[in-house]
Amino acid sequence: MSAFITFEGPEGSGKTTVLQQVALKLEATFDTIVTREPGGVATGEQIREILLEGEGMDERTEALLFAASRREHLVGKIMPALEQGKIVLCDRYIDSSLAYQGYARGIGVEEVKAINDFAINGLYPDLTIYLDVSVEVGRQRIVTNLRQQNRLDQEDIAFHEQVVEGYHKVIESDTSRFNVIDADQSIEQVVDATYKSILKYLGKL
């Protein structure tokens, strides 16, 4: 039984930690892979390098490159794993582009959805876990994570708030695919709630 499950959330939602811990639990029972774009797929990696290096890159170019890298990862890694009956857990997918490029960067959610629909060609996730962190808790976690660098300016905070707002708009417009988890709880509680929600989706709870 294959399933394509994506994890979404703003910085400070605990997404990467939660994903790793949930994957460990699922692996005990299911043939599971964890991945994130560009996921070791050669062309996807090259596209991502351009994204990282491009200083002052045009916002629409950035959105197109994310979508292109997404397609390479989808075709090169996600589709083969699904064909082999695996559970694919993917750290960020189309909804990151909708929230970050579409809403927070201001390109427009519908515009960014259009190029991503072209890129994924109907392969929407079966289930999307959204780690719903409040702006306050998210900001606190970012500050704690970055304490050594000691840098979180007003622009970062405003952008973070825009990302959270963007995700909420995306979820409101497509509620059936999302499972919203309260990510203000402790990481242990978030892991537990996420794991149970996936088991329920898989019909094992």
Least CB distance from residue 171 to ligand TYD, whole Å? 16
CA distance 39 to 74: 9
Q: For ligand TYD, which is the closer residue by CB, 24 or 205?
A: 24
Please say whether the beta carbons of 95 and 177 come within 8 A.
no
Beta strands in the chain (DSSP E): 3-8, 32-36, 87-91, 127-132, 178-182
The first and second tokens of residue 172, run together, are 């409101």
CA distance 61 to 107: 11
Q: For ligand TYD, which is the closer residue by CB, 4 or 100?
A: 100
Taking residues 48 to 77 in sequence order and writing x for each that binds ligand TYD by CB under 6 A, - otherwise, the string is ------------------x-----------
CA-based nearest residue to 66, from 41, 39, 94: 94
Q: For ligand TYD, which is the closer residue by CB, 30 or 115?
A: 115
Least CB distance from residue 29 to ligand TYD, whole Å? 26
Taking residues 74 to 113 in sequence order and writing x for each that binds ligand TYD by CB under 6 A, - otherwise, the string is -----------------xx---xx--xx------------
Instruction: Count the site residues for ligand TYD by CB under 6 A.
Output: 10
- H, E, C per residue of 150-181: CCCCHHHHHHHHHHHHHHHHHHHHCHHHEEEE
Least CB distance from residue 112 to ligand TYD, whole Å? 9
The residue at minimum Cβ distance from ligand TYD is 100
CA-based nearest residue to 78, from 51, 116, 38: 38
Q: For ligand TYD, which is the closer residue by CB, 86 or 92?
A: 92
| Residue 8 engages ligand TYD in binding (rule: CB under 6 A) | no
**Contacts (Cβ under 8 Å, ≥6 apart) of 195:** 22, 25, 26
Least CB distance from residue 10 to ligand TYD, whole Å? 8
Q: For ligand TYD, which is the closer residue by CB, 30 or 38?
A: 38
Least CB distance from residue 203 to ligand TYD, whole Å? 29
CA distance 98 to 120: 13
Site residues for ligand TYD per CB under 6 A: 11, 16, 37, 66, 91-92, 96-97, 100-101
